[in-house]
Structure 1
C-alpha cells in the first residue's frame, strides 16, 4: 500500500466497523445522506466516528479522499 492511500475497507476498519466488501455494501444499503447533510452529522455515527470523519476533512488528512468517497456513496 502506498503511503497516504487508504481504501474504503481501511476506512471502515478505522471507524471500528466490519470492513469486508459485503459488510460495506450492507452499510451503504442501510444508510443514506440527503441534500446538504454533512457526513459527520449523520445520526448513524457514534461520537468518535463523527470526530474522526470531521477531523479527516478539516485537517485535509490522508484519509480525506476516502472520506469524500464514502460521502458520495451515501448519497446514491
Structure 2
C-alpha cells in the first residue's frame, strides 16, 4: 500500500488558499509568525483553517510533515 504524499501545494489547496508556487511564495513572504506563536494560532487563519492545522499536528496525521514545513517557512 502506498502512503499518501502531501506537498505544500496540496496543503494550500486543502486550506482553500491559492496554491500555485508563486502564490504560495507571496503568502509566505507576507504572513510571518514569531517563535512564540503556534502555527494554528497565527491571526491570518480562519477558524476552520486553524482547526485543520491544529488537528493535523495533534493527530500526527498525514498532513503533519507538510504543516511542519509551512511552519518553518513562515518563521525564516
Question: Structure 2-normalised TM-score?
Answer: 0.95
Aligned-CA RMSD value: 0.8
- Counterpart secondary structure, 2:75: coil
Q: Quick check: 1:4–1:63 contact (8 Å CA) kept in 2?
A: no
User: After superposition, where does 1:44-63 map in structure 2 within 5 Å?
Assistant: 44-63=44-63
> Runs ≥4 in structure 1, deviation > 3 angstroms?
none
The whole-number CA distance in structure 2 between the counterparts of 1:53 and 1:19 is: 16
The whole-number CA distance in structure 1 between the counterparts of 2:35 and 2:41 is: 13
User: After superposition, where does 1:1-76 map in structure 2 within 5 Å?
Assistant: 3-76=3-76
Structure 2: where are the runs of 5+ without partners? none
Deviation at 1:4, TM superposition (A): 2.4
Q: Paired residues, what number?
A: 75
Question: Structure 1-normalised TM-score?
Answer: 0.95
The whole-number CA distance in structure 2 between the counterparts of 1:52 and 1:67 is: 10
Structure 1: where are the runs of 5+ without partners? none
